[in-house]
Amino acid sequence: MIPARFDYHRPDSVAAAVGLLQQHGDEARVVAGGHSLIPMMKLRMAAPAHLVDLQGIAALRGIEAGERIRIGAMVTQSEMIAHAGLAEAAPILAEAARQIADPQVRNLGTVGGNVANGDPGNDLPALMLCLDATFTLEGPEGVREVAARGFYEAPYVTAREEEEILTAVGFDRPARGFAYEKQKRKIGDYATAAAAVLIGAEGGRVVSASVAMTNVADVPVFSAAAGEALVSTDCAADAVAAAVAAMQGDIDPVEDNRGPVEFKRHVAGVILTRAIARAWSRA
C-alpha cells in the first residue's frame, strides 16, 4: 500500500518532460493516469526516484475525429467514451473502453498509458493493432512514428526508448463493421481472451477484415491470416471457422488463474466467433 519516496515533477511541455527523463535516466518514470503505475508502486514492484506527471501538458490532450483520427495520449477512457465525433467515426473505441476497468479507473486511466504500459492484459493494444494505428513518440532526437503492429516486443518491452514519451495515437477512419468482444471473470478483470474485429463489406461480401487478440500471448496479437480467411466470403460458418483456426495458429496463451492453455485457446475461438458475427451484422 505504501509507495517508496520520490521527487515529483509537473512539466508543462513535452520537451520539458523529455528533458527530465534525460536528466534522471532510468530513475525517472512518467505518470499519466497512474492506474497501472501507482498500484505497482504501492506493491514496490516499481520505485522510481523521480515521477514526471504529464497532467499539465495541454498538447497531450484532445481528440481529432476526421478521416484521420488522432487521440492525445492523456485522453482518458471516459473522455473517449463520451466523445460524440469519435462515436461516429470509430465506435469500436467506446465499445472497447466500456469493457476496461470501472468508472473511477476510466476517469483517470489514459489511452497513452494503456497502449504504452506493455502489459498484455491491456485491451487497447490489440485494438490499435486491429486499427493499424501509428504511435507518435517524442524524445531527445525529435518526433517519430511507430506502427502499432511493430511496437510490442515482450511483456512490458516496447519499441519506445527510455527517454521517449508516447504523445498520441493515430489511425484512419475504420471500416463500418466492428466489434470488441471480451471474456472476463468480472468487472475490471483483464481478459481471459478478447477479440477486436473490423469488417468492411460491399454487396454482401467482405472486402476488408482485420483481427487482433488480447491477452492470449505475451504480447497483443495481430492475426493477418484470420482477416484474410474472411475476405471475399459472406462470413458463413465455414469462413468463420477458417478465421478462428488461423487465429489459433497465431496465439500462444499462458496458463494462469484465468485457466489452462487449452481453455484459453477454446475461449479465444468462441470470442472471435462472436466478434465476427457482431462486426458482420454492422458491416
Partner 1 sequence: MSDKMHLKLTVNGEAVETLAEPRELLIHVLRERLGITGPHIGCETSHCGACTVDMDGKSVKACTVFAAQAQGAEITTIEGIGTPDSLHVLQEMFREHHGLQCGFCTPGMITRAWRLLQENPSPTEEEVRFGMAGNLCRCTGYQNIVKAVLAAAHELNSVKEAAE
Query: Which residues in this chain contact partner 1 in the complex, by CB under 8 A?
Result: 1-8, 10, 31, 34-35, 38-39, 41-43, 49, 51, 53, 55, 78, 101-105, 107-108, 187-188
Smallest distance, Å, CB 11 to partner 1?
A: 13
Nearest to 246 by CA among 276, 281, 279: 276
Smallest distance, Å, CB 193 to partner 1?
A: 21
| Residue 113: all three cell numbers together | 498509458
Residue 184 neighbours by CB distance under 10 Å: 17
* H helical segments located in the chain: 14-24, 37-42, 77-82, 84-89, 92-97, 103-108, 111-117, 124-131, 224-230, 237-250, 261-282
Distance of alpha carbon 231 from alpha carbon 19, whole angstroms:
47
Identity of the residue, 102 or 252, whose beta carbon is nearer to partner 1 in the bound complex = 102
Q: CA 282, 77, 32 angle in degrees (round to 5)?
A: 145
Identity of the residue, 124 or 229, whose beta carbon is nearer to partner 1 in the bound complex = 124
* Residues recorded for the chain: 283
Identity of the residue, 48 or 118, whose beta carbon is nearer to partner 1 in the bound complex = 48
Cell 488463474 -> residue: 257
Identity of the residue, 24 or 278, whose beta carbon is nearer to partner 1 in the bound complex = 24
Smallest distance, Å, CB 162 to partner 1?
A: 20
Smallest distance, Å, CB 138 to partner 1?
A: 22
Cell 485457446 -> residue: 265
Identity of the residue, 24 or 265, whose beta carbon is nearer to partner 1 in the bound complex = 24
Smallest distance, Å, CB 39 to partner 1?
A: 5
C-alpha pair distances (Å), 213 with each of 3, 9, 21, 78, 81:
33, 36, 32, 23, 21
Identity of the residue, 31 or 283, whose beta carbon is nearer to partner 1 in the bound complex = 31
Smallest distance, Å, CB 86 to partner 1?
A: 18
